[in-house]
Amino acid sequence: VAPTTRDPRAARRTSCLGTFVLVVVLWSLSVVALAAYLITRSAIVRQVRFQLSGVGRRVRVQGLLLLLEIVVVAFATAYYMVSESTHDQIAGIDTRLDSLYFTLVTMATVGYGDIHAVGQFARGLVSVQIVFNLIFVGALTSLVTSRMRDASDSRVEQPADAADEDG
């Protein structure tokens, strides 16, 4: 039986084709991630400005929660797409639920370690989510403290108004 010989040129062509496909997928994901980043950043900046403007308190909480839901779905979808297209970027994501779980664990800053970014692109995507988390937590903290301050101010003003009416 004659040993099978491999054509080194065919192996190089296959390797080059695999590299080309990987580059195209990573480039496409980079474009999608950049677009998502710009859209999310624009929405975050608008929402933070709105939060700090002091207009319509009830709408602000609903807007902040809606923004949170949209961003969680966007990051979960991005992580799933990255995991499906390049299996060496995120270790542990096999299903959509895994990507949602990873998004929520990252957002809650828990970090169990069972799913983690391995590749540079995935680490960049996780970094974008961490920056969003910092901005979101800052806006939420600002909202909660301003509500507590307003509630405290209104309690202080009520007894003074009642004393003026009695006197």
pLDDT at residue number 4: 55
pLDDT at residue number 126: 93
**If 0-12 CB within 10 Å is exposed, 13-18 middle and 19+ buried, where does residue 143 land?**
middle
pLDDT at residue number 146: 79
C-alpha distances (whole Å) from 94 to each of 30, 31, 120 are 21, 23, 19
**H helix or E strand, kind and range, residue 91:** strand 90-91
Quote the pTM value: 0.59
pLDDT at residue number 102: 96
pLDDT at residue number 75: 93
pLDDT tens for each residue of the chain, 167 residues long: 555 556 556 555 556 666 666 677 667 767 766 776 677 667 667 766 665 665 555 546 677 778 888 889 999 999 999 999 888 899 999 999 999 999 999 998 888 889 999 999 999 999 999 998 888 878 777 777 877 888 788 777 766 555 555 55
pLDDT at residue number 87: 84
Distance of CA 77 to the CA centre of its chain: 10
DSSP sequence for the chain: -PPP---HHHHHHHHHHHHHHHHHHHHHHHHHHHHHHHHHHHHHHHHHHHHHHT--HHHHHHHHHHHHHHHHHHHHHHHHHHHHH-TTSEET--SHHHHHHHHHHHHTT---SSSEE-SHHHHHHHHHHHHHHHHHHHHHHHHHHHHHHHHHHHHHHHHHHHHHHH-
Classify residue 4 by its DSSP letter. Answer: P
pLDDT at residue number 68: 84
**CA atoms of 102 and 117, how far apart (whole Å):** 10
pLDDT at residue number 155: 78
